[in-house]
């Protein structure tokens, strides 16, 4: 069965907190008018939460704008996804937690208008971001297409996040980004590296200028650049991802030689990972299948990873 994912990564400047929702809705409609074949629209991190130039992510403004995920903002976004008939990742949103915490949360909305996935950023960019860290990794099945892993900006600097998502069966990692600093050059290296070492697609969509550094990129499972914005100007990166390529690369090896997910024999002894208080178990060193439906609960390895970062 062919599993193709036509998508658009939308590189655009952040919209200001408090702007009417109609402005974003019109923005999404224009994207789809230009690329009507698209099944997934992905916007940058905190696309709806700009707070001026420079964009300082002021805690007071973010707390005032934060809502729970059943609040009116997500309801409106779900209605927009249903209207457009696409999978919609509107970047990430400021989520008010159950105890009043502030989370940077990436969401996925289905073409039927349902919130089908949410991921709280595990690695906030400290000391600059005011968010609490999340405590679970999340993958989402796009019905009839494949499985995507959710990933926000600074998460890409920690190889454990991409490895965990790939192990959970992600074929595409959606890395939504709001980089306004000079380290975008390193992030481009990380996008390709995370794709290569996990044999997955990586979509790294950054906010545009004048606040953002842009240079969004779509990378294939052997590290090949499929599409890239050359600068910070607004850009639409349209790509059709053949998700079967993930299976082909893993079967024949990256560059025809490297098959990292087939490294171990199941009978070999476990390898301790002291930094995580965990281990690699050859008996389970295989990515999960995109079918049946995924779990978003942390595995023992992920729990150990989180404990080691606190």
Residue 20: both structure tokens together? 């009417």
- Beta pairing class for 146-152 and 172-176: parallel
- Beta pairing class for 172-176 and 201-205: parallel
Tell me, yes or no, if 207 is annotated catalytic: no
Annotated active-site residue in 94, 121, 178, 207: 121
Annotated active-site residue in 95, 153, 171, 207: 153
Residue 196: both structure tokens together? 């290569």
Tell me, yes or no, if 178 is annotated catalytic: no
In whole angstroms, give the CA distance from residue 177 to residue 154.
Answer: 8
Largest distance between two CA atoms of the chain: 59
For the annotated catalytic residues, the residue numbers are 45, 121, 153
């Amino acid at each position: 069965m062919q599993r193709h994912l036509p998508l658009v990564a939308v590189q655009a400047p952040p919209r200001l907190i408090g702007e009417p929702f109609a402005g974003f809705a019109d923005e999404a409609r224009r994207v789809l008018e230009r690329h009507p074949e698209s099944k997934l629209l992905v916007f940058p991190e905190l696309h709806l939460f700009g707070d001026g130039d420079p964009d300082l992510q002021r805690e007071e403004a973010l707390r005032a704008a934060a809502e729970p995920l059943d609040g009116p903002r997500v309801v409106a976004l779900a209605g927009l996804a249903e209207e457009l008939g696409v999978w919609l990742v509107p970047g990430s949103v400021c989520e008010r937690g159950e105890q009043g915490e502030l989370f940077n949360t990436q969401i996925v909305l289905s073409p039927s208008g349902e919130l089908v996935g949410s991921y709280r950023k595990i690695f906030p960019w400290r000391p600059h971001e005011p968010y609490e860290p999340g405590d679970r990794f999340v993958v989402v099945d796009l019905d009839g297409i494949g499985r995507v892993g959710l990933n926000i900006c600074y998460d890409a600097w920690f190889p454990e996040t991409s490895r965990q998502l790939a192990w959970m069966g992600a074929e595409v990692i959606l890395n939504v980004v709001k980089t306004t600093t000079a380290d975008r050059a390193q992030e481009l290296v990380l996008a390709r590296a995370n794709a290569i070492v996990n044999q997955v697609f990586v979509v790294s969509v950054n906010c545009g200028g004048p606040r953002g550094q842009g240079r969004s990129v779509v990378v294939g499972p052997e590290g090949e650049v499929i599409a890239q914005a050359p600068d910070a100007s607004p850009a639409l990166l349209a790509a059709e991802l053949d998700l079967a390529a993930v299976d082909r690369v893993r079967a024949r090896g990256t560059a025809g030689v490297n098959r990292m997910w087939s490294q171990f024999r199941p009978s070999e002894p476990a390898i301790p990972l002291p930094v995580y208080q965990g281990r690699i178990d050859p008996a389970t060193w295989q990515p999960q299948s995109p079918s049946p439906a995924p779990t978003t609960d942390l595995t023992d390895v992920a729990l150990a990873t989180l404990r080691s970062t606190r």
